[in-house]
Structure 1
Amino acid sequence: MPEIIRIEMDDPRYQKERELRNKILLRPIGVPDYGWEMNDKNSWHFIAVEGAKVIGCVILYPLNEEKSKAQLMQMAVDHSWQGKGIGKLLVKALLNFATTRRIKEIEIHSRADVTTFYEQLGFQVYGKEFEEVGIKHRLLNRKI
């Protein structure tokens, strides 16, 4: 079973995380590589690894100075590992981390076609559907 690890940006695996995000999230919708990294330096990074390979990632970005509210962003799982529970492992590790950091609420701008995934993990849809990077999204949140 893959291992979930929190890394810093100076970890060599951060570059593999960036590449995975480009491959899975950005290139398919025409966003330039590295075009969505504006929050990376202020975020906590989680990766799923199998051996030396980064097969999944997600970041958690604090939304306020107190760091009591944060946003789950940039969730990506390598195509060959999708549907095998890697995303759930990543979210559970992120939620455990958030609990230890006394984060009280996590929000997500989820692509509309995957909101069920997050609902199964205790997140709730709120507000109206909106468009972001040319894709329909929904807002979700979860109190911790």
Structure 2
Amino acid sequence: MITIEQIEMNHPFYGQEQDLRNRILLRPIGLPDHSWEMDDHKAWHFVAVENDNVVGCVILVPLNNGQAQLKQMAVETTYQSKGIGRLLVGALLAFAKEQRLKEIVCHAQDTAIPFYIKNGFEIYDEPFVEVGVPHHHMRIAL
């Protein structure tokens, strides 16, 4: 059974979260391990866990004016398309509402746009390139 947990950086699952992000997000596009952890210290971390193994993760970084940014969403390759991303986003959005945030934004790769639209996000602003990959600005009002 998969559970979603909110963790801190000192939690034993944090190392697994880092490894998952490195393998799924960074290495495939040629970025060095740990190169996108600059917001980890101020972010809320959510992990999907099965049998003490992290199989998915996402962070939520507080911004200004009731806004936060969903970042670094990754799901283990063999677990993709099984609803884990939906569970992570659901937990993140429920937490954001508890925190009385007004809006969640994210930078979505072209391939992820249908996923975010299914989860209530909308595209806004112009497309852009981040780390050499086409992205769109997306948001959801809470």
Question: Secondary structure in 2 aligned to 1:95?
Answer: helix
CA distance in 1, matches of 2:137, 2:114: 12
Q: Percent identity?
A: 52
Alpha-carbon distance in structure 2 between the residues aligned to 1:23 and 1:94: 22
Amino acid of the structure 2 residue aligned with 1:83: S
Please list every run of at least 4 consecutive aligned residues from structure 1 whose deviation after the TM superposition is greater than 6 angstroms. Answer: none
The Cα of 1:113 is off from its aligned counterpart by 1.6
Which secondary structure state, in structure 2, belongs to the residue aligned with residue 102 of structure 1? coil
Alignment of 1:12-31 (within 5 A): 12-31=12-31
Match of residue 71 from structure 2: 73
How many residue pairs get matched? 142
The answer (yes or no) to whether the contact 1:109–1:139 under 8 Å persists in 2 is yes
Provide the C-alpha distance between the structure 2 equivalents of 1:117 and 1:39, rounded to a whole number of angstroms: 24
Q: How large is the RMSD of aligned CA atoms in angstroms?
A: 0.7
Equivalence map 1:32-47=2 (5 Å) = 32-47=32-47
Structure 2: distance between partners of 1:69 and 1:114: 21
Q: Deviations over 1:59-111 (max 9, x none)?
A: 000012x5x10000000000010000000000000000000000100000011
- Scaled by the length of structure 1, the TM-score of the pair is 0.97
Superposed displacement of residue 139, structure 1: 0.3
Where does structure 1 lack aligned partners over 5 or more consecutive residues? none
Q: Secondary structure at the match of 1:70?
A: strand
